[in-house]
Amino acid sequence: MISKLKFFERFFLIFILIFAFIFNLICSYRCLHENDMGIILNGGYRIFCGQKPYIDFFFPTGVVPFYIQSVFFQLFGLSLNSFFLHSSVLNALASFFIFAISARFSGIFNGFLCAILGAVSFASLISFPFYETNAYFFLLCAFYFLLQNRNNKNYHFIAGIFVGLSFFSKQNIGAIGFLLFILFIPLKKNFVKYLSGFIAIFLFFSIYYLSIGAFNGFIENFIINPLLMNREKLLLKKLDTTFSLIIIGFMCIIYAIAEKKQKKYIIVFMLLTLFFYYTNNNIWFNNLSFISIIFVFLPFYIFKKQKKIFCFLIFLILFSIFFYISFNRLSHNHIYQSKNFNIKIKGIQKFNNLIVSNEQYEDIIRLYNFLIAENSSDKFIILGYKTYFYYLLDTMPKTELLWFHYKVTYNSNNAYYYETKIIKEIKLKKIKYVIFSNDDGADELAHNMKKLIKFINDSCVANFMVANNNVYQLY
């Protein structure tokens, strides 16, 4: 499809990709979403500093987004620019694949409209790097290669590799994608190649973790703990609705394959995925990237035989909605703030031009100045979502748990294990200040790690507030 484009059409496609990159970069600076923004930032920073996953730090998701972020830090330096370049590049590449897929099914004109909508919705609805976005991006790549040539075994092998990368970005998304894409492969020999690509990625990471002595940590934190933490959600909540929709969706896809109506694949696949993730309580945030693809593709597939002016009107409506949500940060419940964080202080320069609320501004600057004044920039731990403070202060993170989120990174089954490790870390690393940030992560931790709280209270020589942060001084 790309090779058939005229010179002007290629030029316009390049313009769309540049727009997708710049638009996401602009949106990225328009809010500080502390709890989710700090995940990939902290994980990429730890790997950049030489820490090893599942040995030096633990987390319940895949490692791929962290390594991608560490590469951006290596190439472009340790800054927010490097952080936001990650998601901006994904946004541009996603727009390309959206164009390539939609142009094949709905024509070049509709393909351009879809690409523009992808530019203002795929990554930009969240804007900063997020493991869900990476997972959906790799599924989009896999979908593109599956549809290129159904009889080309190399394409199916490549698709399997991308599904594997999706799985090692976010397990549930990659697993669902793996199962759904099987139905796009009617030939047994092509399925073997698809499966081989997926297994190749799984073996690659397994061998890597074995080589660094992290295999047991990988099995426990990547496979066992996520299943334990989500077993109630997976087995009890909306079970009947979820499985009914899956069965109906599978029947529709099987019918489409039997009828050899390949163009039905894409619409059935997207509707099934939309319904499946509608049963997830976090659909309107965690799954925004893929939901955007559905609303990008669906109207133009349905109305592809309509006049161009009709499709263009649909485009204007969706473009206005996506642009408004992304640019005003509505997907995070953060409205655009007028305060511009551009403080010329060493360290804080890493947050130059990031727009934050007045409360966030006061909170960050006062805590930063306190730690600098106390000469304790490497003698503190943050319990809560403000893990980006390690990055701000150029210090190695002191806790093995990547971030603190009850029923996401720890639960009632392993809370005792992690609080015991945190206590050992405080003693071994001679931590002077334990800081509970003013967020839900710190509140949940205080509620679920009673032994840790007792230890901190017993060891505390002073307790005071710095802005909205509760600081415990241990010596």
Which value, in Å, is the radius of gyration of the alpha carbons in the chain?
Answer: 23
**Are the C-beta atoms of residues 131 and 61 closer than 8 Å to each other?**
yes
pLDDT tens per residue, range 387-442: 888 888 888 888 888 888 777 777 777 788 888 888 988 998 889 999 998 877 77
Q: Beta strand pairing status for 380-383 and 462-466?
A: unpaired
Which one has a higher pLDDT value, 256 or 470? Answer: 470
Residue 392 C-alpha from the chain's centroid: 21
At 243 the pLDDT is 44
Which one has a higher pLDDT value, 156 or 239? Answer: 156
pLDDT tens per residue, range 198-228: 999 999 999 999 999 999 989 988 888 777 7
Mean pLDDT of 143-166: 84
pLDDT tens per residue, range 243-291: 444 444 444 454 454 445 555 555 555 555 555 555 444 444 555 666 6
Locate 286 and state its tokens.
């965690």
Reference 122, options 138, 106, 104, 107; nearest CA is: 138
Q: Give the contacts of 78 (CB within 8 A, at least 6 positions apart).
A: 45, 48, 350, 391, 394
- Give the rounded percent of residues in the chain with a pLDDT score beyond 90: 28
At 68 the pLDDT is 97
pLDDT range class, residue 25, cuts 50, 70, 90: very high
User: Whole-angstrom Cα distance, residue 11 to residue 1?
Assistant: 15
Amino acid present at 85: L
Mean pLDDT of 174-193: 80
Stated as kind and residue range, the H or E segment containing 74 is helix 64-76
At 281 the pLDDT is 46
One DSSP character per residue, 127-164 reads -S--HHHHHHHHHHHHHHHHHH-TT-HHHHHHHHHHHH
**Are the C-beta atoms of residues 4 and 12 closer than 8 Å to each other?**
no
At 458 the pLDDT is 92
SS3 call for 42: helix
Is 64's pLDDT higher than 90?
A: yes
**Are the C-beta atoms of residues 55 and 217 closer than 8 Å to each other?**
yes
pLDDT range class, residue 58, cuts 50, 70, 90: confident
Reference 112, options 291, 409, 311, 320; nearest CA is: 311
Q: How many CB atoms sit inside 10 A of residue 437's CB? A: 24
